[in-house]
Amino acid sequence: MGLEEHLPSGILLTSVEKVAGYARKSSVWPATFGLACCAFELFSAGGPRHDLARFGMERAAATPRQADLMIVAGRVSQKMAPVLRQIYDQMSEPKWVISMGVCASSGGMFNNYAIVQGVDHVVPVDVYLPGCPPRPEALLDSILKLHDKIQNMKLGVNRDKEITELEQASLRRLRLAPGTTA
Ligand code: SF4
């Protein structure tokens, strides 16, 4: 956002975090992006029955620069992986990724050389959605979970601190932190 870096820490920053979190979660725009059969469930979620418009998300951006959510709907081929990464890099910050379906999350039943065995090898994933294919209701549930994450996202120095703590916790878990033995 930019503004948070110039604000003092304390009660004002906490309030800004809440307001920014609310604004961000209420204005998530997905990129137009479908890779395989899961994409049809994604399209269905945008229809009147499931009504993505209730979240203000019915406008799928035709350019990555106007999108901040990538829903990876379907298996990612090795050939598509660099394209997917390029689209992700062109999306505006802050941005989020939902891995929709077992193929996107782990390669699924396509355990072969042509398919990336999990899109988290290519882009960071915020929410993993299981199923083959996940129903639109499951996608809505994953969007609500993402909204929770965005609402509670810290800003500025608090975010840097949170990232450092998470990294340290991961290193400790892998026994790679200083003072732990492998
Ligand atoms: S998870 Fe199932 S529905 Fe989704 S892309 Fe893979 S095979 Fe298709």
| 76 within ligand 1 shell (Cβ under 6 A) | no
- The band of 178, judged by pLDDT with boundaries at 50, 70 and 90, is confident
- Mean pLDDT score, 36-45: 92
pLDDT of residue 97: 96
| 101 within ligand 1 shell (Cβ under 6 A) | yes
Q: What is the dihedral of CA 22, 138, 86, 33, to 10 degrees?
A: -110
pLDDT of residue 163: 83
Closest C-alpha residue for ligand 1 atom 4: 38
* Alpha-carbon gap, residue 145 to 140, rounded angstroms: 9
The fraction of the chain above a pLDDT of 70, given in percent, is 90
Closest C-alpha residue for ligand 1 atom 3: 133
Kindly tell me if the per-residue pLDDT of 15 is higher than 80. no
Kindly tell me if the per-residue pLDDT of 165 is higher than 90. no
- Ligand 1 atom with least separation from CA of 41: 3
pLDDT of residue 164: 87
The edge-to-edge listing of strands for the beta sheet with 127-129 is 69-73, 96-100, 127-129
Two tokens at 129? Answer: 């959605």
Task: Give, for ligand 1, the residue of 35, 75, 129 to mutate: max count of ligand atoms closer than 8 Å to Cβ.
Answer: 75
Kindly tell me if the per-residue pLDDT of 3 is higher than 60. no
Kindly tell me if the per-residue pLDDT of 37 is higher than 90. yes
Closest C-alpha residue for ligand 1 atom 5: 74
**Residue type present at position 92:** S
Please name the residue that has the structure tokens 């956002």.
1
Higher model confidence: residue 134 or residue 61? 134
- Average pLDDT over all residues of the chain: 88
Measured in Å, residue 165 CA sits from the centre of ligand 1 at 35
Measured in Å, residue 38 CA sits from the centre of ligand 1 at 5
pLDDT of residue 34: 85
Residues 73-93 pLDDT 10s: 999 999 999 999 999 999 998
* Alpha-carbon gap, residue 61 to 49, rounded angstroms: 21
